Structure 1
Amino acid sequence: MGFFSFLFGNKTNKIKEFTDRGAIILDVRSKAEYDSGAIPGSKHIPLQQVQAKINQIKQWDKPVITCCASGMRSGSAAAILRSNGVEVMNGGGWQSLSGKL
């Protein structure tokens, strides 16, 4: 186990654990970004709308993996969801996440 894996956990293992439990991939990029390419089967809710759609997201009753272009917006979305009781992890950039799925 590498030093960073020791500090932060192995993201690939956590992604696998979440997906094994039926996790929903939530892409929080803009509509134009999402329309230009996204993970097949992912849900799209732009970051600015995440707070307003908490109840809808909670109804999924599944863990959530957030993603965006680089991981910044998905980190913000994950924090919003976590503070509202949703089991969530920041999957980072969608292209990198796609390679780990």
Structure 2
Amino acid sequence: MTIENLIKEKAGTIVDVRTHEEFMGGHVVDSINIPLGEIQERMEELENLKAPLILCCASGNRSGQAQHFLSQKGIDCYNGGSWLDVNYYQSQIS
């Protein structure tokens, strides 16, 4: 399933892995902020979110790192790339 379809079907949780400051400057509606540097200590929180996780950041680099790490831990997740792209898909939901 594509990222676009996951978002349109409201399947899963959007997790923004940018810093708190970046997140406060703009983010996807209903997304949660867990910065890349905090992922290891917040694993329990991540495991309790509605899967799959759709990870996003500024460019897709940090969300790619998060996706690689979380996948190795058995968490169903996707790299959504830039939060602006994820935000666009989210805005298409009627």
Q: Structure 1, unaligned stretches of length 5 or more?
A: 1-12
Residues 81, 93 of structure 1: alpha-carbon distance in 2 compared, 3 angstrom cutoff: same
SS at match of 1:85: coil
Q: Does the Cα contact within 8 Å between 2:13 and 2:50 map onto a contact in 1? A: no
- Matches of 1:24 and 1:75 in 2, distance apart? 16
Q: Among residues 10, 24, 47, which one is paired with 2:13 in the alignment?
A: 24
TM-score (ref. length: structure 1): 0.80
Report the structure, 1 or 2, having the larger helix content. Answer: 1
Q: Among residues 38, 62, 65, which one is paired with 1:73 in the alignment?
A: 62
1:2-61: per-residue Cα shift (whole Å, max 9, x none)?
xxxxxxxxxxx5124433263100000011100000001001000000121111111124
Q: Which moved further from structure 2: 52-61 or 91-100? A: 52-61
1:60 and 2:49 aligned: yes
- Matches of 2:12 and 2:30 in 1, distance apart? 11
Structure of higher RCO (CA pairs closer than 8 Å, 6+ residues apart): 2
- Matches of 1:18 and 1:84 in 2, distance apart? 21
2:2 counterpart residue number: 14
Identity over aligned pairs, percent:
33
Q: Does the Cα contact within 8 Å between 1:47 and 1:77 map onto a contact in 2? A: yes
1:51-95: per-residue Cα shift (whole Å, max 9, x none)?
211111111242100000000000001111111111100000001
SS at match of 1:60: coil
RMSD value, Cα: 1.4
Q: Which moved further from structure 2: 88-97 or 13-22? A: 13-22
Residues 99, 21 of structure 1: alpha-carbon distance in 2 compared, 3 angstrom cutoff: closer
TM-score (ref. length: structure 2): 0.86
